[in-house]
Chain A
Amino acid sequence: MAERVPPLRTGRYLELRVNGAPVRVERAPERSLLELLRLDLRLTGAKYGCGEGECGACTVLLDGAPVRSCQVRTAGLDGASVVTVEGLRESGRLNAVQRAFAELGAFQCGFCTPGMVVSATALLRANPSPTDAAIRAAMDGNICRCCGYTRILAAVRRAGDLAALDRGRPA
């Protein structure tokens, strides 16, 4: 994922892509990406949990890389591509991570789940067969307060297998 130099624009509207669709919103430079998603676009999959990038509940993909959307200012987002948990389906079907979380019941209250799913999706794209240590390291910034980590870990492992099957290769 090459670092994209954000073009400097100052028009009234901010234009970016969210879940593949072009989006135009009024510029509000102080607004965080999380606020833009939740308040302007009514995409509430990303959650407010702490407002300081500690809990991971607001994780989304920004130009393919996972970010804490509460920590991302909208000012530099012209032309950016944002993918939220709502945009992870592949050809209308839940992605491998989502299927694995559902299959293994890897949630309790479910509030952290969107952030967990996005983080795990990013991990598996970068590293299709991560070790447990790699999963723990990549997901350490996502808090599950119900502490369902055992199941989440198992679900990420399982997602790796499902994704391999999707690609038509043995796990």
Chain B
Amino acid sequence: MIGPRPRRPWDRSPPEEREYFALLGDGLVAQLPPQTPGPPVGGGWSPPSGGAWLHIGADGAVRAFTGKAEVGQGTRVALSLAIAEELRVPLERVDLVMADTDVCPWDIGTFGSRSMVDVSPTLRKVAAGARLALIDRASQQGLGPSSALEAVDGEVRVRGKEHGIPYAGLVRAAHVVVTVPPGTPLTPAAAWRRAGQPAVDPTAEEVVSGQRVFVSDLWRPGLRFGAYLQPPRYGARLVRVDVGRLRGRAGVTVVHDGEFVGVAAGSPVAAHAALAEVDAEWELEAQPGEREIEQYLRAHPSSGDSWDSDEHRVGEPDAAYDRAPVRLEATYRSAYIAHVPLETRAALAEWDGNRVTVQVGTQTPFRAREAVAEGLGIPVDDVRIVVPYTGAGFGGKHGGPVALAAARLARAAKAPVMILFSREEEFRHGYFRPMAIVDVRVGAERDGRLVSWKFHNVNAGAAALLPPYDVPNQAVDNELSESPLPQDPYRALAANANNFAREAALDEVASLAGVDPLAARERNLSDERLLAVLHRACGAAGWTQRRRSPGKGFGLAVGLEKGGRVATVAEVRVASDRTVRVDRLIVAYEAGTIVHPENLRSQVEGASIMALGGALFEAVHFEGGRILNDRLSTYRVPRFSDLPAVEVLLLDRKDLPPAGAGETPMIAVAPAVANAIFDATRVRLRSLPLVPEGKVPERAAAPPGTETPPVVKEARARRGPSGTVARRRRGGAAGRTGRAARSRTPRPRKARGHGRPRGRPGTRRKPSRPGRAAHGSARRRTPAPHRRAPRRTRRGRRGRS
């Protein structure tokens, strides 16, 4: 973190008032308009950030600034590579300051796969501008005419010469600010020497040696730990609270301000123990459970958020459907699932006079700044939000309630305060990927060509709603609902559900028409880039030579979203006891120019395996406004034992600008797996997760295309009443392996390797569950007999992740 604070955040100051050199030292600053204070005008996603600036110091070090946060997606290195390329310096020379609201350009937030799309061009441009300015300075120092000079390896040289003037020598004792013209040319990708090449993260050593400091690792002398009261169930309303028992308690700070009740104490355990003594009474309202949720969402449309709604009509879909020889009508569902970032929400707040700095794991630091200022009733200029290294987000860390709570408690405690959510708090007081219900009706010719496409999404949103296929008659729309569970961004958000429904439906149509899934896609696609990834994946998978054997199945799916194109082939094995195993995933991905190939590959691998969780077994279970599986022993995420062979094929389009890559590789996995399970068993599974119990049901779904497909019943029967959700408590010796309660999907019990961690007899302790204590004090009233519509649940930010 940059040491002293500027008088005002730089994004809120005119350029001439920014203390660049007082804070960064002598040197040269290049900046790119717009430089008007505050968020850029326009709203929505574009423009996504307010200008750019970077500093070249008297030691030749480059310090660049972006409002984006690094939450594990690797953009720190990718963006640094882009800067290193334009400035012709080694990667190690670039220090990218990210997500510090005092010194970084305003930014809308880290979501929507926008970092490479929106920020890499501006950072490249400002770096290119700085390079040209350095060449001019070298010329002024007598090296030669600018046209005869070039920048190479951190020096300006006479073209073709071995040595020149290092950047340090060109900016020594200087206080120069250059404004980079928007038209500054960028180095074409075909000429890149650093970007686009393999690169090792210069910070790798600190990561592997445990030295990287994450939010929850921060420490200050006199640090206090905070906790705050939260509703025990969704829809619960605080009717009475009494903190009297804690008044005057030594070592405990209590804040009771309106609805906010929080404590700070000397340790996390002490804070949660104190919070448990708060006497709170809640009024609960009836909440739909899993059995009623689909009907509930269909019956409770939401009025707002038109930006996350889409509607597309062309031709006469009904008439075309009626005439079509091949017809399918089916409903596809996706469960609510949780992000489960390995680091829970965390924030450290500290005050300096009337100004506060909060270091917090958030994907939207500038929005968190507004929220903290508003919540505390202080000027925005007095709030600084900094996002240190954060243990992932996946769309799950938008906003800043934890930051605000930490700031309140720190103000009252007159000491720095850290809040760290327990895992249970993370499940209960975060938000989820929305449940989706997608009604699909498709008509096709006998050769698989689509003639009618009706597609209606309930609740999940508009991402990837429109088909990439050429269909003459379409009626596509989505409807938002009042979700009883809080729902918000998640990696690729609605694109997951929409693409699952679309690609599974297309597979069904192909099967009904007796057309190979590859041919069915070829016949309906004209997007050359999508066809290219399709052929690449199928080629690598040996699609046309694939050999079926008992229990073996192959599935194919494509996807187009946020400018990226993906094709995934899944190879599954269904054992004689119907247990499903995904053996192999072949993923071809194209996202324009590749800036950091190894990171892109890593993102595609990770996204594909993460998506396998939502495809096969992940689901949030709930009843009466309470999450039933709010721990890692009951909410299952992919592990080593689930890992298939993953083959990633990257297509590099140097003629195209970089597109997003963190999300789109997710979206073809679930349909490819569902299609492969059908291939192996002739059973169509239309609800995610596909095999929550690990096995394909015996009974095949009724043939699709009937007027009232029995799919709905099937799906419900499979999931079972929510009361049967596995929720076994760990305990006894079996718990020691850390596996006992993770029982939803049977796994073969193999002999453990030698390295298997064991708790030793006598050293086991009951897991401390700070989150629980807080809720134990809640007195519950009988739920109100009437069902009130739940409050709107942060709908306004959906559709991004």
Q: Which A residues are closer than 8 A to B by beta carbons?
A: 3, 6, 30, 32, 35, 38-39, 42-57, 59, 62, 65-68, 70-73, 75-77, 84-86, 88-89, 94, 97-99, 101-103, 105, 107-114, 117, 119-120, 122-127, 130, 133-151, 153
B140 within 8 A of A: no
A71 to B204, CA, bound (A): 29
Q: Is B773 an interface residue (CB 8 A)?
A: no
Binds A, one of B714-722, B762-770, B785-793: B762-770
CA distance A108 to B610 in the complex (A): 13
Please indicate the chain A residues that have their CB under 8 angstroms from the CB of B216 in the complex: 44, 47-48
**Contact flag A62-B72 (CB < 8 Å), given A102-B204, A110-B212, A145-B392:** no
B144 at the binding interface (Cβ < 8 Å) = no
Do A52 and B609 form a contact, CB below 8 Å, given A67-B758, A137-B753, A140-B639?
Answer: no
Can you give 24 contacting A-B residue pairs, CB < 8 Å? A3-B760, A47-B217, A50-B633, A51-B768, A52-B631, A52-B730, A65-B757, A72-B765, A86-B210, A86-B211, A88-B209, A98-B209, A99-B208, A108-B602, A110-B207, A122-B755, A123-B755, A135-B753, A138-B756, A141-B738, A145-B341, A145-B392, A150-B605, A150-B646
Interface centre among A48, A112, A130 (most CB of B within 10 A): A48
| B110 adjacent to chain A (CB < 8 Å) | no
Q: Which residues of B contact A75 (CB under 8 A)?
A: 763
**Complex Cα–Cα for A6 and B219 (A):** 32
Contacts of A57 in B (CB 8 A): 342
CA distance A64 to B423 in the complex (A): 28
> Does B391 have its Cβ within 8 Å of any Cβ on chain A?
yes
Bound-state Cα–Cα, A137 to B765, Å: 25
- Would B610 and A146 count as touching, CB distance under 8 A? yes
The residue of chain B having its C-beta at the shortest distance from the C-beta of A148 within the complex is: B606
**Is B605 in contact with A148, judged by CB distance below 8 angstroms?**
yes
Query: A56-B757, A127-B755 are contacts. A47–B391 as well, Cβ < 8 Å?
Result: yes
Contacts of A125 in B (CB 8 A): 755
Given A109-B392, A110-B72, the answer on whether A55 and B342 have CB atoms closer than 8 Å is yes
- A107: B residues at CB distance < 8 A: 204, 207-208
Contacting B392 at CB < 8 Å: which of A45, A108, A135?
A108
Interface size class of B (residues with CB under 8 A): 35 or more
Nearest CB on A from B397, distance (A): 11
Chain A residues contacting B207 (CB-CB under 8 Å) are 101-102, 107, 110, 113
Q: Is the CB of B209 within 8 A of A149?
A: no
Q: A53-B757, A72-B763, A109-B389 known; 13 other A-B pairs, CB under 8 Å?
A: A50-B631, A59-B757, A65-B758, A76-B762, A102-B208, A111-B342, A127-B755, A137-B752, A139-B755, A141-B639, A148-B606, A150-B646, A153-B643
Chain B residues with Cβ below 8 Å from A123 are 753-755
Give B contacts to A, CB under 8 Å: 71-74, 200-201, 204-205, 207-214, 216-217, 219, 267-269, 340-344, 389-392, 394, 420, 422-423, 598-599, 602-603, 605-610, 612-613, 631-633, 637-641, 643, 646, 730, 735-739, 742, 750-760, 762-765, 767-769
Contact status A62-B760, CB under 8 Å: yes
- Of B738, B757, B759, the most chain A CB neighbours within 10 A belong to B757
B273 to chain A, nearest CB (A): 11
Residues on B with beta carbons closer than 8 Å to the beta carbon of A32: 765, 768
Chain A residues near B204 (CB-CB < 8 A): 101-103, 105, 107
Given the contacts A88-B209, A110-B389, A149 and B609 also touching, CB distance less than 8 Å: yes
Q: Closest A residue to B216 by CB, please name it.
A: A48
Interface centre among B753, B756, B765 (most CB of A within 10 A): B753
Identify the interface centre among A44, A88, A111: most chain B CB within 10 Å of its CB: A111
Cβ–Cβ < 8 Å partners of B389 in chain A: 109-110
For the complex, give the distance between the alpha carbons of A122 and B753 in Å: 10
Contacts of B73 in A (CB 8 A): 108
| Contact of A94 with B754 in the complex, beta carbons under 8 Å | no
Closest residue to A1 on the B side, CB-wise?
A: B754
Give the docked Cα–Cα distance between A7 and B455 (Å). Answer: 69
Are B640 and A142 touching (Cβ within 8 A)? Answer: yes
Give the distance to chain B from A83, nearest Cβ to Cβ, in Å. Answer: 11
Q: Which residues of A contact B211 (CB under 8 A)?
A: 45, 86
Residues of B close to A109: CB separation below 8 A: 71-72, 341-343, 389-392
Q: Is the CB of B753 within 8 A of A130?
A: yes
CB neighbours of A141 from chain B (8 A):
639, 737-739, 756-757
Bound Cα distance from A62 to B214, whole angstroms = 24
Can you name the residue of chain A whose Cβ is closest to the Cβ of B215?
A111
